[in-house]
Each structure stands twice: as C-alpha cells, then as structure tokens.
Structure 1
Amino acid sequence: MTQALPLAGIRVIDYSHFLAGPYVGRCLAALGAEVIKVERPGSGDAGRQHAHVLDDKSSGYFLQLNMGKQGVSVNMKDPRGKAFMQKLCDSADVFIENYRPGALDKLGLGFAELSARNPKLVYCSISAYGHTGPDSHRAGFGLIAEAKSGIMQMVGNPGEAPPLLRISLGDMYTGIHAVAAINAALLGRVTSGRGQHIDMALYDTLVSMHEYAVQCYTLSGGTVLPQQTGHDMPTSTLYGVFRASDGDLVIAAQVDDAWKRFAAMLEQHGGPVGFGGDARFHSLNGRNEHRVEILAAVKAWVAARSVAEVLALLDGIDVPSAKVQRIDDVINDPQIQARGMVQEQDHPRYGKLRLPNLPFRFSDCDTTIHRVAPDLGEHNAEVAATLGYSAGEIAALQADGVLFAQ
C-alpha cells in the first residue's frame, strides 16, 4: 500500500444515532477521516441497546456502525457543553446529523449557525422526508420510506400483505449516497472555498432506486403498474426463485443465449421433450407470453433434484445461479472469506469480534478499520485537548458532567 487514505486530514463530527448517520461516519472513517462520535450523557446512542445486546454498554449494532471513531459525550443542556460543541464544529470539515428537521437549530447546531462560524463546513442532514416539502416535519424510519416509496408494494405473493424487507434498505442506501455527496462537496470546496448543506431523505433515495417501475408507469401513460409476483419476474422470464428437494436456489436465464443453453440442458436431463428447440421461447416476449408453461416445467424439474445437482448443471453451461443462502452459509462462503467481507477485531472487553466489512477496495491503500467502536465518552480528554482546553479545564468539565464518561 503506497498511498495515504483518501480522507486523511479530514475531521468529521458524527452527531447522529442508530443507523443511517452512523453508517456514513463509519464509511468516512474507513476512508481515512478522523471521525468523532458525539453522544448524549447517560445512555448514549440508542443503537447501544439494539440487537445483538452484549451488556449495558454496547451491542453488536453499535460496534458495527461505530468502529473507527473516537467518542465524546457532551451535556448540551449546560452552556459549557454548547460552547464545547461549537468549538468542536469550528474545527471540523464535515458534520453529520439525522434528527428531525429543525431539532438541532434549537441547540445551536443547525447549518445556518455552524456555517456562519465555519464557512468551510460540509453539513449533511439525513431525515425521513428531507428539509423541504409538506411532509418535512414528520418523523419516520426506513420502514416508513420503504412503504411510501412503492418498493414494499412490489414484493411478496399476490393477494398477501407485503413482507418486511428485513434489511434497512432505506437507511443504508441513503447513507452511501450521503457518503458520495459529502465527498463531492469536499471536492467542490477546493475551488469554491465553502462548504454547503446536504439534505438527504430516506424517501427520496428509495424513489430514486426504481430502475423500471417509474418509467413503466410514466411511459405507458399510467397503464402499467408493478404487481406482486412472488417468486419470479413476469417481464424477465426466466428469472426467479425455485425450490429443490433440499433447499432453494435462484436462476437467471432471462437473456436469449442463456435461455437457449438452459432449455437444451433441461431437455437433455429429464425435462420436457422438445423444450430446447421450442421457437416460441427463443425471445423474451415469447417467454413472457408463455411464462406459466415454462415455470411449471422448470419448477417440476428443479423440485426433483438437489440444490447442488441443479447448480452443477447450470455452472456447466454458464447460466447464472446460486443457492439461497442463510447467514451461516454467507459467513463460511469461501468467496466472502477471500474478499475479507467478515472483519475481525480484538475488543478489550468482548474479545474477538466478527462483523460485516465495508466493500471498499483500493489498489494503493487499505481501508480496514482496526479501531473498535468507542465506549461512551472514551475520548473526551483527547478531543478536548485538540480544541485548546487545558488539563485543568478538562478535569473541571469532566467533574461537572459536561463531558460525560461511562
């Protein structure tokens, strides 16, 4: 590794909680930024008590999202706490927050006040609906954005209530867009000399994620609406989930050449006679038109075989496929291990941690985070010292609880 990390020398104040904001901070830390996590005294970030809870100090959730950061805990109800935070923000390049619009203005930590003091500050806000529009005042979580965005309505079986997505799509997708926007604003600052306010909304980012549903509706004059289809995609036959004798797998044979190889193999290995040469199925429109017939044949063929047998046959003809894996399969997957996507850290209290890594891969620098997530207020003194506080002043702030430590 021959280069410094891309964001070395950038100071980030992570005044966020739970998921979207902390994820942004973790990403920036991996890219080399100095990230200072700010928490409220007492209980700290609510994510400390969200699955998997280890004790009254932390959880897997918090450890995963806050690795690589320094930690301070500041009592904003004390004027000295507000002064400390404003001094900290004066020293910063980036400020991250994910509170309801207007909440931080009351604390003197809104964009207008902080940017007046520090014009170079890149201030990133993340909220459910954004800082403008008729719903901007409303509270919300990823679940709300998933429901509002039209994504939830598209999944599940016809006639049934849609299922929960079980991953925090809205938070994580918004978070990585915020990482991109922050880096762009930092680059823009080089020529403009000024930071700016980045206004990220969970609802916005999930609407932007629609790769086909919006244009299908608008370009059809409002006649084409996505429908729940369960285990396959009616506009891309054959593309879906199939049940084998000992588990589930996915097959992606929606491209004409892949379909022809698949259909020929199916006929050679016990599928319907003539299936491989049936010209009705040689185009996507033809396959979609005869989707029910195709699905019946493929489901029956897959059901009579094991997952391993089906995957071996499909690998042999270069048709994309995969087992539907559980998390234990994922962690033990040689590909995931080879890519280092389960990261190990040694924690002084919890021992060896195994947590999901970030997918950043650079040719000339290493983005592996070695610093574990901070205890509440762990770095109060160190951070205060960088702001010019004397040892005596720091001791007084700590004794009075302005700077709180667990």
Structure 2
Amino acid sequence: MNATAPLAGIRVLDLSKILAGPYVSQALSDMGAEVVKVEHPDGGDPTRKWGPPFNGPDATYNLAVNRNKRSITLDLTTEAGRDVVDRLLERSDVVIDNFRPGSSLARAFHGPQLVERHPQLVALHISAYGESGPLRDEPGYDMVVQAAAGLMSLTGEPDGPPVKAGFAFGDLGAAMWGLTGVLAALVERARTGRGKYVSTSLYESQLAFHASFATGYFATGQNPPRLGSGHPSLVPYQAYPTADGHLVIAVGNNAQWRALCTALNRPELAEHPDYATNADRVDHREEVNRVVARALRANSSAHWSDLLKQHGVPVAPVRTLAEVYRCPQTTALGMVDSVEHPVVGELEQIALPVTFDGQRPRPRTAPPTLGQHTREVLESLGYDQDEIARLLDGRAPGGPGQN
C-alpha cells in the first residue's frame, strides 16, 4: 500500500458485481484504498464469464474493473457467510452493493441498517431505477436503462433506429455519481465522525447527464431529434466523411466558422446571410452540412486535420482503438499501465484518469482470480486454521462453500 495515496488507510468491502459497483471500488483502490471483493463460490462475479474475449481464466470485461482488490468467496445466504461479512464490516470504512431491491440479500445487507450497526460506515447502494417509484423493484442492465432514461432516443441517425452508446454509459455514469457520493460522505465523516447511507441509480444518473437536453425540453416541450454525431445547438459540429475516413469538426463560435470557410477555400460562405450566425446555421443545418461534407471529400483526414488546426478550427479524426493506443498523446499521458497477473503474466490496464501533484497512481496488483485471497482474509479476521478449513470445505454450519 502507498501510504501517501489520497485514500491510504481506507478499507472498502465490495459486495457488488457486474460493472457500476466494481468500477467505484476500483477507482477507490486506485486512490489508495484497500478493497476486499466478496464473490459467490459458484463462479463468482458473472462478468468473469462475459466473453469472449478472455485473457486467462477470466473475461477481459472482468479484468477491466477489478485490479488492486482481494477476492474472497462466500455464500452470503448462509449464517457463516454473513458472519464473515459482519467481521469485515466492523473494520471497513465503505461498503458497496447493488443487490436487487426486495431480494433476500438486499434485506440482509440494507444500507441504512448497516450504518446504524456500524456508525463509521459509508454504505453505497446502486440500483437500476432508484429507491422509490413504480420501477424501483425492476432489475436493470445498462442498455435497458439507456432506453428507459431516454439516451437511446437521442442516439443514432435521424432516419435510423435508436442506438445505444458505444460503451456502458448507464453503468459508468452511475459509478461516477456513486463515487462522488462516497467521497463526499467520507469528507463529511472526517468532520462529524459518522458515516452515511448513499444511494444512486442508473436511471437517476442518466437523467442528470441529460443536462442541456432536459432544459431544452423543459423550455419548448419538444423531444430533441436524433442527429447522428450532430449537435442540437451548434452547426457545423459533427463527423464528416473525407477521402479516406471521417473527421469531426466542432465550430463553437462565428470566428471559428469564418476560419473554417477560409480553410475550405470558401470564404464567401462566411458572409452568406443564411450562415452568418450560429442560430442561422442551426436553422440551415442540412445546407451547411452538405457544403462542408462536399469540400472535405476532396482530400484525406490527415490533410484536413493539419490544415484546420493551422486555422484554429477544433478538429480530430475519428480514431479506432488501435489508433488511440498508438497515439503519442496517450503515451505521453501514461494512460496505459501494466501489472503482473498470476496466470497470464503482464496485463495492460487503463490507468486512473486523475493525477495527484502530477503523479498518476499506478496499479498495485492484478485483478484477482476467484477466491484468491479467501484464506488470507479469513486469517486477518481472526479465524483459526480449523475454522478456515471448515469454511473452505463447506463443513461449517451454513458454510460459504468451496473456495
């Protein structure tokens, strides 16, 4: 453990699975917290099998969000499993769960009750739809909530079907708000000495990210249309085809519009009365986009990218992941690091996107194999070797099952 890390000394018990909760606990671990991840003996976190692709015994999905953690296997429906968790809670600062509302595990590990029994705890619960309302008991996967919370209605081409975001924006959005809530509660605990119950959901987080889309709807009562890569309030501001790929141009003011017209060798467009202001260009969106697209098709993405940068126009090629991870900017930032995995050897990971005094935290340990640290954690909790043996082979009353 790095004793100088921002969250050094903070202990986290992760009872969650899939993506949102584990993403929160990994972020906390990257900032120095010690994390124990509890998994069911029968297969563990389902994402271990969410492949291909796999890297060693586990899917790469699971390897993305579980570094710097210790994995223990427990059956939380048993008395012995709950006893182990109770001992862990006594020494934990944060506990994270995403148990489905109304389930037996949600009742057994209800956040407010945990904080009442362990006043030092910050208990984070992440759900699909929140803790009240007609959908509160519904299960939720990322794409389901992207649909229910409106994101898919905003994503896709105007004449095409609704499309989900390319990555799990619902889960990751809830993770970001959950992380924010945990960190705020820890700050408050430092002042008051008492923990707090924190709750968020995929649905609430998606609504928060509507931002200007919501205020636009509140003002007009009109549903925003799907615009592909376009922007509802700025034109030209989208991806355009070039001779060999696609290029994003983001014109945010009239000076940039004039610069774009000059770079495209169409200076007369800057003076055209239909395009003079951004509001004019939004009103004539299709005409402006046709003119820009026609010009860009004449040359390569690299040509236009260089030229437009020279003219001060915000621009970027649409890169593949292979291009992103070869990009000198990615290398310069140190956003890819590696850690030694006990099965697959060197394992590349995306680093924490935050630096502290200019230093980016490095991964300390690889994502654990299932139950890798069960014996070690049980010993630290005071279980003797006979008790551990009974727990591991399932002979304890209500034991946690095979490690």
Distance 1:106 1:151, change over 3 A: closer
Q: Could you say which residue in structure 2 is the equivalent of 1:380?
A: 374
Q: Could you say which residue in structure 1 is the equivalent of 2:206?
A: 206
Shift of 1:355: 2.6
Q: Could you say which residue in structure 2 is the equivalent of 1:238?
A: 236
1:277-292 mapped onto 2 (5 Å cutoff): 277-292=271-286
Aligned residues: 399
Letter in 2 for 1:219: A
Letter in 1 for 2:59: S
* Alpha-carbon distance in 1 for matches of 2:3, 2:372: 30
SS of the aligned residue for 2:24 comes to helix
* Alpha-carbon distance in 2 for matches of 1:105, 1:62: 22
The correspondence for 2:251, drawn from 250, 253, 261, is 253
1:108-187 mapped onto 2 (5 Å cutoff): 108-187=108-187
Shift of 1:114: 2.2
* Alpha-carbon distance in 1 for matches of 2:64, 2:22: 9
Q: Could you say which residue in structure 1 is the equivalent of 2:98?
A: 98
Distance 1:348 1:182, change over 3 A: same
Larger mean CA deviation between 331-340 and 102-111 belongs to: 102-111
* Alpha-carbon distance in 2 for matches of 1:62, 1:68: 13
Distance 1:104 1:177, change over 3 A: farther
Letter in 2 for 1:100: R
CA contact (8 A) 2:394 2:402 kept: no
1:248-294 CA-to-partner distances (Å, cap 9, x unmatched) read 11001131111111112222xxx4x6224435423111222333322
* Alpha-carbon distance in 2 for matches of 1:386, 1:320: 55
CA contact (8 A) 1:170 1:205 kept: yes
Larger mean CA deviation between 46-55 and 148-157 belongs to: 46-55
Q: Could you say which residue in structure 1 is the equivalent of 2:348?
A: 354
Letter in 2 for 1:133: G
Residues 1:306 and 2:300 are matched in the alignment: yes
1:60-115 CA-to-partner distances (Å, cap 9, x unmatched) read 11111100001110123432222111111122111101121232556622224422
SS of the aligned residue for 1:209 comes to helix
Letter in 2 for 1:226: P
Instruction: Give the root-mean-square deviation of aligned CA atoms.
Output: 2.0
Letter in 1 for 2:379: A
Q: Could you say which residue in structure 2 is the equivalent of 1:78?
A: 78
* Alpha-carbon distance in 2 for matches of 1:279, 1:77: 70
SS of the aligned residue for 1:65 comes to coil
Shift of 1:319: 0.7
Q: Could you say which residue in structure 2 is the equivalent of 1:38?
A: 38
CA contact (8 A) 1:111 1:197 kept: yes
* Alpha-carbon distance in 2 for matches of 1:55, 1:277: 57
Larger mean CA deviation between 25-34 and 158-167 belongs to: 158-167
CA contact (8 A) 1:261 1:317 kept: yes
CA contact (8 A) 1:86 1:109 kept: no
* Alpha-carbon distance in 1 for matches of 2:205, 2:256: 33
Distance 1:364 1:249, change over 3 A: closer
SS of the aligned residue for 1:126 comes to strand
Percent of aligned pairs with the same residue?
32
Larger mean CA deviation between 155-164 and 34-43 belongs to: 155-164
Larger mean CA deviation between 46-55 and 21-30 belongs to: 46-55
Distance 1:343 1:195, change over 3 A: same
* Alpha-carbon distance in 1 for matches of 2:106, 2:120: 22
* Alpha-carbon distance in 2 for matches of 1:149, 1:50: 25
Residues 1:62 and 2:56 are matched in the alignment: no
Larger mean CA deviation between 318-327 and 57-66 belongs to: 57-66
1:292-326 CA-to-partner distances (Å, cap 9, x unmatched) read 32222111100111111110110111111111111
CA contact (8 A) 2:339 2:348 kept: yes
CA contact (8 A) 1:50 1:59 kept: yes
* Alpha-carbon distance in 2 for matches of 1:231, 1:109: 43
Shift of 1:395: 2.6
1:107-154 CA-to-partner distances (Å, cap 9, x unmatched) read 622224422321211110111111222210111111122112222111
CA contact (8 A) 2:270 2:276 kept: no
Q: Could you say which residue in structure 1 is the equivalent of 2:225?
A: 227
* Alpha-carbon distance in 2 for matches of 1:102, 1:56: 36
* Alpha-carbon distance in 2 for matches of 1:404, 1:30: 30
The correspondence for 1:396, drawn from 369, 385, 390, is 390
